[in-house]
Structures are given as structure tokens and as C-alpha cells.
Amino acid sequence: MEQYIEIKAANPDSLLFYRMGDFYELFFDDAVAASRALGIALTKRGKHLGEDIPMAGVPIHAADDYLQRLIQLGFKVAVCEQVEDPAEAKKRGSKSVVKRDVVRLVTPGTLTEDSLLEPRRSNFLLAVARARTASVGPGDGYGLAWVDISTGEFRVAETDGARLSADIARIDPREIVVSDVLYSDPALAEFWRGFKAVSPTPRDLFDGASAERRLAAYFGVGTLDGFGAFTRLELSAAAAVATYVERTQIATRAPLSPPVREPAGAAMLIDAATRANLELVRTLGGERHGSLLAAVDRTVTAAGARLLAARIASPLTDPAAIAARLDAVEALVEAPALRAEIRARLQNAPDMARALTRIAMDRGGPRDLAAIGQGLVAAASLADLVAGTAAGELAAAAEGLALPDAALAAHLAAALAEDLPLLKRDGGFVRPGYRDGLDETRALRDESRRVIASLQTRYAEETGIRTLKVKHNNVLGYFVEVAQQHGETFLKAPLNETFIHRQTMAGAMRFSTTELGQLEAKIAGAADRALGIELDIFAELERAVLDRSDAIRAAAGAVAVLDVAASNATLAAEETWCRPLVDNSLAFAVKQARHPVVEQAIRGRAPFVANDCDLSGSDGKSHEPRGRIWLITGPNMAGKSTFLRQNALVAVLAQAGAYVPAASAHIGIVDRLFSRVGAADDLARGRSTFMVEMVETAAILNQSGPRALVILDEIGRGTATFDGLSIAWAAVEHLHETNRCRALFATHFHELTVLSRRLDRLSNATMRVKEWRGDVIFLHEVTEGAADRSYGIQVAKLAGLPSSVVERARQVLAELEATDRSAPTRRMVDDLPLFAVAPRPVAAPAPDPVLDLLDGMDPDDMTPREAHEALYALKARRVRTP
């Protein structure tokens, strides 16, 4: 317990997994917390200061499952192992404690095991450094550095306070590392609370003066000049994240790639609220299913899925880079046979990048080596398939696929058995015939075990005790076990000359023999020699793989690129999507666009109604960049929100380098995408629904520029009518005159439609509806013009409001529409009985036989005579109807 307390004191913010035999044990408060979080038994072991010591434990073989659950709950875990052979400890005395130490800190951002990672999602660790400077814009400057140690990816960037939240949302880190000074800044306290895993660390990690030296030391180079030019803030963040990785991995160096700098403005800026509203990679409920990513993902490899997610989360702003991606997609769209063959061969490509990392960190097993071998074979076959292809990024992918040599793959295939264990310590992973000495040792080991079985049979026959068993444990080695009543016989002559008593159990006795002792030494020696040879072979294979790590990593990246291109091409062919034209203009002209998620969700139940949208910026009078604004009116349930979102998603897909769900699309680069759709509150931060709406609207109006695309829905509806109308009115004018951006503005304030008379770039559009017998039919079509009303009562009726409520609402609406809207409050109080007792529920109207007869007629199929007879029948029915 002294040893435990000392190690725990050095890791106060982590649960300590303390190795004891075949279990990781936890004590004191750690045991209580783990018991509650994992649902495991809480026991006790000894006393400390007169109090029972709480204890809980998990078996070693199931530790990964428990670690995953703890990490998901936000815990950090310090893994404490025995770092000394117990035999060495005994040399210091029989009471000596085996030395133990923490070998690794497991945190959400530093995972490498397959069982702890999501295969199709990156696992980023982000470091944020701050410097109070105006070098990158108004306010504080920030340096960002993020790594995925499971693949080695390492990127850096610089941002400012206005963009910080959006950049973090784009990276989507599992864990954020900040200095304790930055974490405790009162101005940012609320900001950091918005993230699940934020790790404050000592400020020395972010020391800018030593950052370059520490980073160079991590990569074993004298200077960082070969990696590119970095700002002081970027170096500070990069050194912090590398040092944090070093401290959590302790004795193991994570094989990170050299840092790559992302220039400012290289990606479309999408803030966290917009990402949530548009459900780019996850739905509002946090699920992948139902998101844009789930709808467009046709990848067949885990690496390809991660790359596609990164591209959806971070669309490009460089038309040339976008065109290179689109060229690759187009080439595969036009070659369906080639595309099908590529996808078939990609099925055989394991996750080489993560397997390589585990091997480099000495956490790999035989299956990781096999994954590298299988991946290299798949890469070579893909290289042959796309050799000579010069379409966009396919050319670079073909080069990457051809880098590794075939000899390494052949070497791994020759060395590894077909059926592989998970861990190298289990042995049995080397193919028979690969190493002569190993085969001989295995034969000796296996033959000795057969001798044990025959020995048990002989002992049973000689003694006449059929229940006699030869068993083994780590204390006694091999021994003979018999029931208690037979054991008394073994203690007497002549059996006591052969069988030596070793242990008495409840109901059983154990004995050893000279023959068993000699056989045990032979078996143990053979098994240990065989495992030792296999471990030497494993080390040789590891070195061979690591010697080619750069080529393997390049091939893994090329496989991902090829998978994404083939995925996008498959999607385009299956869904009849088009290649967008993306340039530096202010165009936004989309023909027959559809919402990719909704269209797939309703397929088979209803056709999706496609719509056009043209926000292309041109006023014909000025060279100043200006975009158009569509003011969209119409009832709820008519498809306004779907129309708004689908145009935003078209921009995201186009700049991610994918085809889009439309007949044609011309997209001028969108540098910032803003979407304010739907209603939500944030009660934990003291924000009402309307306050959240205003905060998000403020961000849009303060940050949008001419190249932005803005999606706004129902601004001002969360407050009083004239307050809301005034806010919406002013917001439209600001978007038109100050932001000058391309925008879609949906509203129920029909008064706003008059703005089109004096705002030359504002156009009115509406959702088409049709009324039939008091009900409304939604056509989901967008057309020019303005809605005359919102049809809210009809929608309420469809929702199932009681008929008395619907009828009362009709009465009130009729009164209001006939009233002077300039004094609604006085009219409501003085003239309308709004506060009178509600009338009794109105009975449903009796069926009208005339209308029933009309419903049964089809004018298009009637002859003139039939129509004439029907008219007489209607007249007769009307006369008879009271």
C-alpha cells in the first residue's frame, strides 16, 4: 500500500490501474469511482489509518473493455505494471515488493488500440496556445496543433479569437490540451466548459522559448527548417502537443509525422452552431446515422472513411485543389468497370496506418504485421490497376501505392501463420517451415505434452484410481491430484516411494514424482525456447516493417484517397449527381437541387421535389462584390427548412471535392458558411431560446463577408411580434447593405416582402401550396413571389389539435384579419372575446352528400352527356338535402 500511495500521488488526476497478478486493482477513491462507473463490485482490503480500504479490480484479459468505458465517461487512467521480475525481488528478501511503475497514461486523445478506437473516425488530440497579439486579427492570437497518434497525422495552424470555436469544431478533437493559465482565465471559463475532455497542463508545455528545440528533439533533427516555416504560436502549440504525447506514453515514442502547416483561409469556415444545424458528420442527437456523412459515405476502408469525414468537415477554398479531387471522381464515374474493380480490391486493404503505429510503439501483435502484409499486397494490386492514370489526385495516389517493395509483403506472408493470436506472447504465429530450429523445438514441446497425457493414463492404471489427474500450476508445476480418500493410500508404502506429498486441499491431495519433475524441466525448456525463437522472429519482422515505414504510410494514405474518389464516384453514379463548377466568382446557381439525406430517407415512399436556387452576385452597376438574397415565405411543413439546408449542403459537397445532388451547379467559392435554423435553448449557460437565436444571428451579421453563404430561418420569432419583425427587418437590410453576401432568409413576417421594392438584390420566393376543402396540400416547390398567409391553422389541424381549438383559432384569425393591425392590443382586449371562456367543443360537421358525390367524379373521364346527367343528379341531391 505504501508503493500504491506513492505512485498514486504522482498521478492525482488519473484512476490508477495497479497490476497485481492477473488483475488491475484500484484502491481508495479510485475504487469507489470505478465501481460506480463500471458497475463492478466494491470490496475492501486491509485498513489504512484505522479505516477499511475500498478495493475494486478488473481482469487483465478484459482490461481494454473497461478502459474504453472509462475513457468514454471522461476519465483518465494511469496503467501501473510490474517492471521487475519477481525472482529479482525475492533476492532482496522474502517480503520484498516487486517494483511497479506507471508505463502509460491513457487519455481520450492518446489511444492506439483497435478496441479503444472507432475505426471510421479520427482520434485527434488538440493543443491550444495563446498569445495576446493582433498579428492574426483583432483580439488574441491562438496557435493550434493537433495529432492523431493512431495514424501519426500532425497538423498546425494559427487562428484568432473570432475563429477559434469554428476551428476547434472543424478539427473535432477527442481531447484538448491547454495551459493551466489559459484554462483558468475567467473570460474563457464558459468556453472550455462546452467541451467534454479539456486537460489543463503546466505552462512549461507551452513555453515558446524552448518550443523549437523540444520539437526538433522529438523528431531527432537539428533544425525544423526541413519541415517548413512556422509561426511562434504554431511552434508553441506543436511542442506542447508533442510533449503531452511524450509524457502520456512515458517510455514509448509515438511515431508522429512531421507537422504540416495549414494556411489561414484554406478551409471553409463553419462554426459549431452551423455544423450542428446542418448535421454534417453527426445529427443533433449525436448519432452518425442521419447525418450528411452517413448519406454520402460509400467507402470500403476505415482509412477512406476517416478521410471522407475530414473532407466533409473541412471543405477547401482553393478551386484548383477542388478541381483535382473532382477530376479523380469524374474519371471513375466514366469508367464503371475500373471503379468496380478498384472497390473490390480495396476490400482487402486493412488499416495499415494504425497497425504501423502500434508496431512502432511496441503495442503491435502478429495480426498487425499481417495487416501490413495484406495492405501492401492490396496496394500493389491497386497500383497496377491505376498505373498511368493522370486524372487529378489519382496520379499522386498511384505513385504512393507503388512506393513499398513487394519483397516485404512476401517476407511477411512467408513468416506468418494463417491463424494468428492477438498477442505475440501467446506464440504460435510463425508459419511451420519458416525456421528449422523453431520446428524442432515445437516438436519437442508437443511430444512432451503427449508424454504427460500417457503418464496420467499409466499412473491411473498402476494405482487403480481412474479419477487420478496430472495437473499444472505456477506454484507446484506438474503434480498428481487424487481425492482425499485415495490420497491417504499414497502416503503409505509402497506408493509413498513413488509419490511425494506436496499439498493437502479440501477434498483432494497433491503429489509429485521424480519422473514428473524431469519431464517438467524438459517441457518448460522447450516451450520457453520455442516462444523465445518466435519473439526473435517477431522483432526481425518489426524492424523490416519500420525500415519501410515512410513508404507504408504513403501507401496507406494513397489507399484512403483512392477509396474516397471511388466512393464519391459510386455515389454520383447511383444517385445521378452532377459535377459542380467551382471557381472564384460569386456565383451560386443550382438547378434541380435535392437534399441528399432527405431524398434517401423518403425513397420508396414519396418522390423528392427538386428546386432551383440562384444567388449569383451581380448587380450590373458596380464592380463591388455583392451576392443576392432570397426572402422565402410560405407555411411550415412546406419544405422551407429542407430547401435552405440542401443549398448549404451543395456548397459543402462541392468544395469538399464531391459531386452534388443537382442537375447542374455553379458555385463561387464560399469562404464562410453560416446557418441559423431551428430553435434550441442553452439553459446550462442561462440562455433562453431567443437568446441563443440572437447570439447566433449576431455572429452571422458580425462575421459574414461578400464570399459568405448565409442561411437564416425564422429570425425574430422568439419574441413579441413587432420586436421580432423589427429585428428581422434590420437583419435583412444589414445582410444586403453591409455583409453583401449570398443569403437565404426564410420568414413568416410577410411584411418583409415589401423590402424587394427598394433592395435591388433582394428577391421574394415562396413555397407553393394548394388548398382543398379547408385543408392545405404542400407541393414542396419554390417559386417567385410571396405567400399571402402562413396556413398555420391548417398545419395545426394536421398535427391533431382538438377540433374545438382549430375552430376557435379560425374565429380569432378572422377577427384579427378584419381588424386594424396598427392597434392590435386594444382591439384584442376591447372587441375580441379572447379571454372569454372557451366554447364547448364543436362537433364534427355532418357529411355532405353533395360533396361526397363530387368526390366520386373525374371530369377528365366524363363525356358531355355524363357531365350533364351528373349536374342534374347534384341538383336533385341538393334539393333533398335539408
Residues of each annotated binding site for ATP: 634-641
The string over 482-510, giving b where at least 16 C-beta atoms fall within 10 Å of a residue's C-beta and e elsewhere, is: beeebbeebeeeeeeeebbeeeeeeeebb
- Pairing state between β 269-270 and 672-676: parallel
Shortest CA distance to 699 belongs to which of 688, 689, 710?
Answer: 710
The residue written with cell numbers 489559459 in the block is 182
Query: Phi, psi at residue 486, to the nearest 5°?
Result: -80, -30
Say if residue 455 is exposed, middle or buried (CB neighbours under 10 Å; 0-12, 13-18, 19+). middle
Sequence-distant (6+) residues with CB within 8 A of 759 are: 629, 732, 733, 736
CA distance 457 to 469: 9
Contacts 24+ apart (CB under 8 A), 500-504: 502/476, 503/476, 503/479
The three-state secondary structure class of 1 is coil
Supply the angle between the helices 514-547 and 366-386 in degrees, to the nearest 10: 30
Contacts 24+ apart (CB under 8 A), 840-848: 840/804, 841/802, 841/803, 841/804, 842/803, 842/804, 842/807, 844/803, 848/881
Sequence-distant (6+) residues with CB within 8 A of 453 are: 470
Query: What is the chain's Cα-based Rg?
Result: 36
CA distance 586 to 670: 8
Shortest CA distance to 428 belongs to which of 436, 439, 417, 437?
Answer: 417
Q: Which residues make up each annotated binding site?
A: 634-641
What HEC string does 375-387 produce?
A: HHHHHHHHHHHHC
Shortest CA distance to 25 belongs to which of 2, 73, 69, 59?
Answer: 59
CA distance 629 to 700: 14
Shortest CA distance to 47 belongs to which of 57, 55, 39?
Answer: 55
